[in-house]
Amino acid sequence: MRPILAFFALLASTVLASASGGIDCAANDTDVEFSLHGGITRGMGSPIFALDARVAVNDRAFSNDLRSTDFKAEHVAQYWLDDKDLRLVVYRERAGDKPHGYVELVIYSRAAGDEISYDGTYELTIYDVVSDNSDPREAKFAGKVGCSVE
């Protein structure tokens, strides 16, 4: 009886292990650097259950709190993953009592031919209202991104 129970326990653990995977994306350009790591489940749309991302912008015209922005799973605005495409939008507004500002990162990528690689482009928008009496600053950056999905 114990060998049978051990077999089913082992079987259940392998099913659980194969039920999750990950997403990794990165870009390192002159003006923008980011890395993104996410945990996804398999099946039912492969939802993201965890996300850790950091975006750094080298443009000093923007406030420090927006030039270096961290994202978590609650900042995922849109997401799509299948065997052909990975598309992801993360969006975060400035916290606290400062004037409005946000950072939005959009990733468009396509499967690169092997089982895990996705290549594509990113678009980053940074929007900063420095003070209530000034015009807002906005910049858009774009470049190539490499992602892997397991």
Query: pLDDT tens-digit profile of 93-118?
Result: 998 888 999 999 999 999 998 879 99
7 found inside a domain: no
Give residue 82's pLDDT: 86
Q: Which domain holds residue 105?
A: 20-149
10 found inside a domain: no
Report helix, strand or coil for 113.
coil
Work out the burial of residue 29: count CB atoms within 10 Å of its CB; fewer than 13 is exposed, 13-18 middle, 19 or more buried.
middle
- DSSP secondary structure code for residue 115 in this structure: S
How many domains does the chain contain in total?
1
Work out the burial of residue 95: count CB atoms within 10 Å of its CB; fewer than 13 is exposed, 13-18 middle, 19 or more buried.
exposed
8 found inside a domain: no
> Which segments in the chain show pLDDT lower than 50?
5-17
Give residue 48's pLDDT: 92
142: CATH? 2.40.128
Give residue 14's pLDDT: 40
Residue entry with tokens 């990733």: 107
